[in-house]
Amino acid sequence: MSTIVEEPKVATEEHPVAPFLRMDRIPHIWCPTCGIGTVVKCFATALEETKVDLNKTMIVSGIGCTGRVAGYMKLDAFHTTHGRAIPFATGLKLSRPELLVTVFSGDGDLVGIGGNHFIHAARRNMDMLVILVNNFIYGMTGGQNAPTTPLGARTSTMPYGNFERPFNLPHLAASCGATYVARWTSLHTRRLTKAFKEAIQRKGFRFVEAIAPCSTLYARLNRLGTGFDLMRFYHDHSEIRHGADPADVGIGFQDKIICGKFVDEERPTFTELMNEHYTKTLGDKYVPMPPEGGLLREPVHSPEPEEAVVTGRDDS
Amino acid sequence: MKTDPAGVLSGAHYLDGDFACGEGAMAAGCRFVAGYPITPSTEVVERISRRFPMMGGTFIQMEDELASMAAVVGASWTGTKSMTVTSGPGFSLMMENIGLAAMMETPCVVVDVQRGGPSTGLPTMVGQADMMQARWGSHGDYELIALCPQSPQEAFDLMIDAFNLSELYRVPVLLMTDECVGHMTEKVVIPPAEEIEIVPRALTAQSPEEFLPYRVDGNYIPEFARAGDGYRFHTTGLTHDERGYPVMSAECQEICVRRLIEKITKNADKIVRFDEEETDGADVVVVTYGITARVARMAIDMARERGVKVGVIRLIVVWPFAEKLIRELAGKIKGFVVPEINYGQIVLEVERCAAGKCATVSVPHGGGSVHEPDDICQAILGVAK
């Protein structure tokens, strides 16, 4: 008698979001059960479903585990310096206003070293979508304390537990002026995708926080089990509360995670305010940055040489 | 190509060096400026913020110099000529993203109106002590280009050269001016737009399918695709291959970083610029730059009156350094005299290149004022003895 062993089924179909990824860079560097890949999948699905012009969609990352996202997405992709993704994206957006600019980075990058840029971009209502993957810890460097680490959680630099009060990120973003603020976990894939779709279609400073497991460091240092256990925790302890006051959605250690859409309002962006203001104050003399950017292409000649003018210091 | 006349305020003006810098940038086609206020450089962005709205330019005052420099690098990837302006303390903060610009090969210009340091130092008073920081300030090995104007007119002229060099070599170019030049008001003649030659951003003609962002095909400078044109390229501050993908290996590091260095060092003869005066048969050569070059004039005249054969090298491009020139002169003269408003920075380069073939004498000055010409003269006389 012989036993017939079935050939193991090998996935031969292309991954549904493969066209959005640099497949020549896969496998990625993220650990098994890391939540970042799931967030990327949700974002790619949102890009697909909103049918945005991918040639005009930029992705900018800083440094860290989530900082690697730009490197895997088949868009114009910028892997910049630690904390500086938002100002880099500001330069991109202002000098080619037609672009859809997305910042995709981690908690340490965006609100630790980059915190000042985060609050000022929100204050200015700079037109960009900021996706922040929050895993409560510095992953790439080995599990150090983050500005998001819940009180009492252990990290490699708070071996006796964190005693620093963490940021409540939706509250931070909303109080600085973000026009769209939502939070989901990497378990809520459909809702997270929907949040990305909505945020892509809004304008202004849009902020989506995605809570994601770091089983290699955060879960191990805090004896929270495997990635699967963390997903179960999200399942059991997430509470959806759309429209909740962002001040009330802070996250305690192994406490409930309030998810939902907290802010969704329209306010003029930096560029709109600038255009409106200069049109009002300068009238016809105002020449805005062209949507396609400030690239000087063709030789432009003035018909006649300008008349010589003499100016003094005050004629600035 | 000829520049866009919208940015050119042709005519004869009475301008300070900071305003002249701003005018030079606009004449060069700069259309994005991000900056943060700092004495003695702020007038540059004040001038620009007043005139930019009329020429399609965008100025933003960022939250700090880290952000200013990052925004400039981001903006440049759209093909928009971009710049920031600062002084010592801000220059320190910009080092992070000057390194990024060097690694990503992003054309951009940084103006440093030098004041006395270290730290907050002498905010309203002159210094030239950022010269080595300009060369080595960001971590790691890289090369860039630094220019030093001695007058408001030259500040205007060199701004155009700075933008052009940044486009040609895809490097950050630094205009290392100083508080004296920045706040000195003199006649500045701005030529008609059709006389201002600018180097436009050279966009690749390759298709997105065949394009690789860091392929050089035997050249030193890769072709450029701008953000938003459908190339969907990747660029990173990590060591990368010709696809712009990170590769963590000694082999890739060697290829990547060696090219960043060689694209400047192998083209140094084309980039280096200086004024040379009466070096033939000279016993002493004064090597100088920026405002100190003008102070040294008087000292040189004083020494010549006493019969000393004094030549002058005024460095216009300070980095890359005029190495070949100094090596050649070193075998023919008694010595170099190097006055600078620091405790001896560029003199170290002169000494290195002189390699013991002649004397090299530093005339240091801590900053806050320019040299007394007599101090420079005494150094010249000492070498001539």
Per-residue pLDDT of chain A (316 residues; tens, 9 = 90+): 455 666 666 666 788 999 999 999 999 999 999 999 999 999 999 999 999 999 999 999 999 999 999 999 999 999 999 999 999 999 999 999 999 999 999 999 999 999 999 999 999 999 999 999 999 999 999 999 999 999 999 999 999 999 999 999 999 999 999 999 999 999 999 999 999 999 999 999 999 999 999 999 999 999 999 989 999 999 999 999 999 999 999 999 999 999 999 999 999 999 999 999 999 999 999 999 999 999 987 644 444 544 544 444 444 3
Burial class (CB in 10 A: 0-12, 13-18, 19+), B254: exposed
How many whole angstroms separate alpha carbon B170 and alpha carbon B148? Answer: 19
Identify the helix (H) or strand (E) that includes residue B107.
Answer: none
- What is the dotted CATH code of the domain comprising A18-270? 3.40.50.970
pTM of the model: 0.95
How far is residue A228's CA from residue A225's CA, in Å, rounded to a whole number? 8
Question: Domain spans of chain A?
Answer: 18-270
Contacts of A110 (CB under 8 A, 6+ apart): A62, A83, A85, A86, A103, A118, A130, A132
What architecture is the B5-195 domain classified under in CATH?
A: 3-Layer(aba) Sandwich (3.40)
Structural contact between residues A141 and A220, judged by C-beta atoms closer than 8 angstroms: no
User: Could you tell me the residue ranges of all domains in chain B?
Assistant: 5-195, 275-384
Q: Cβ distance A216 to A190 under 8 Å?
A: no
Domain B275-384, CATH number (from 3.40.50.920, 2.20.28.120, 3.50.50.60, 3.40.50.300): 3.40.50.920
Q: Kindly state the tokens that stand for B13.
A: 């003006």
CB atoms within 10 A of CB A49: 13
Question: N- to C-terminal Cα distance for chain A?
Answer: 96
Cα(B285)–Cα(B336) distance, integer angstroms = 5
Using a CB-CB distance cutoff of 8 angstroms, which residues of chain A are in contact with residue B62?
87, 90, 120
A28 — contact with chain B (CB < 8 Å)? no
Measured on CA atoms in the order A148, A154, A159, A161, is the torsion positive or negative? Answer: positive
Buried b (16+ CB within 10 A) or exposed e, B205-224: eeeeeebbbbbeeeebbbbb
pLDDT number for residue A296? 86
Tell me the nearest-neighbour CA distance from A310 into chain B, angstroms. Answer: 5
Dihedral of CA B247/B250/B256/B257: which sign? positive
Interface list for A 67-106 with B (CB within 8 A): 70-71, 74-81, 83-84, 86-92, 94-96, 98-99
B224 pLDDT higher than 60: yes
* One fold for B5-195 and B275-384: yes
DSSP for residue B79: T
Interface of A with B in 248-307 (CB under 8 A): 274, 278, 282, 285-290, 292-302, 305-307
Other CB atoms within 10 A of residue B332 CB = 15
B370: Cα separation from own chain's centroid = 21
Contact B260, B142 (CB under 8 A): yes
How many angstroms separate the CA atoms of A137 and A148, rounded?
A: 7
Chain B, 136 to 195: residues with Cβ < 8 Å from chain A are 185, 192-194
Cβ atoms within 10 A of the Cβ of A304, count?
A: 7
